[in-house]
Amino acid sequence: MTLEELVRAALSEDIGPGDWTTRLLVPPELIGSAQVISKANGVLSGLKPFGEVFRLLDSSLRMHRHFSDGDDIAAGDVVLKMEGKVAAILTGERTALNFLQRLTGIATLTRKYVESVRGTKAVILDTRKTTPLWRSLEKEAVRHGGGANHRSGLFDMILIKENHEAAAGGLAAAVQRAKQNQKNVGIHSPLAIEVEIQKLEQLDKILPLGVDRIMLDNFSLQDIREAVQRVNGIIPVEVSGGVTLDDVRQIALCGVDFISVGALTHSAPAHDFSLLVNP
């Protein structure tokens, strides 16, 4: 789904057969201005869908952005100003702010995780635990916050998890099939293979298989340290499973390469903005 298609669907959901409040109260020719104000400190994200809302409602609206995506913003900052038909501004207000507050919330939470591991080699990754149809926007917000993207979907990496292992008849069989069968399904450039393990004992089975990354799922700090020592830099190590701001730095200090955090996209609190119109 393109950004335009997503925004059109969001506007249709909100407007339905008509924004009757605005149509009944606001003269269609009335011109005015509006400003969007941040009500908390954060990291800005979501200007593209915000702008797309008003482009679709009234392409003659003029928008003056005072910040860019990825910029730090503080409480009281005027993020942008708009000039044009007041009716269009009022009709698009909630949809546009929904995009902005959600994506800024993700960027802001991501920045907190990134700052927590500063000075280590660990890279903060997102997951596929995203809002349906918002994935590209939410993953972009993670990048605005200084994090990195894991995979965009099921199509750009092979990640062998516990259920895949069971269905394939074991880890070795799963990895072998993943390597051998790619061309058979039309994959001409080999995809990276990552294997998730739940127990330290599985490492001995994984290391000889020639995979591209190992994911330690819900490991204790002690077992993470042991796993990193055993791998000894041969394969990048990722940690996943219930990672929080309280423990992310301790995990990073174990020497892992990646830490994936589902909370970046499934639990980020919305950032608070207000939009004030001046007719």
Sign of the dihedral through C-alpha 78, 83, 272, 101 = negative
- The dihedrals phi and psi of 63, each to the nearest 5 degrees, come to -120, 130
199 is catalytic: no
- Tokens (6 digits) for 3: 């950004």
246 is catalytic: no
Which positions ≥6 away from 24 have C-beta within 8 Å? none
Report which of 1, 45, 68 is spatially closest to residue 270, judged by C-alpha positions.
45
Say if residues 160 and 175 touch (Cβ distance below 8 Å): yes
Can you tell me the distance from the alpha carbon of 253 to that of 223, in angstroms, rounded to the nearest whole number?
13
196 is catalytic: yes
Instruction: Report the run of H or E that residue 48 belongs to, with start and end.
Output: helix 47-57
Indicate which residue of 55, 81, 94, 112 is catalytic: 94
CA angle 75, 262, 173 (to 5 degrees): 160
19 is catalytic: no
Indicate which residue of 161, 177, 205, 249 is catalytic: 161
Instruction: Report the run of H or E that residue 249 belongs to, with start and end.
Output: helix 248-252
Report which of 200, 198, 208, 209 is spatially closest to residue 228, judged by C-alpha positions.
200
115 is catalytic: no
- The dihedrals phi and psi of 105, each to the nearest 5 degrees, come to -60, -40
Indicate which residue of 71, 212, 217, 223 is catalytic: 217
How does 245-254 read in b/e, with b if 16+ C-beta sit within 10 Å? eeebbebbeb
How many helices and strands (H and E) does the chain possess? 11, 12
Indicate which residue of 81, 112, 128, 129 is catalytic: 129
Indicate which residue of 77, 138, 165, 196 is catalytic: 196
Catalytically active residues, by annotation: 94, 129, 161, 196, 217
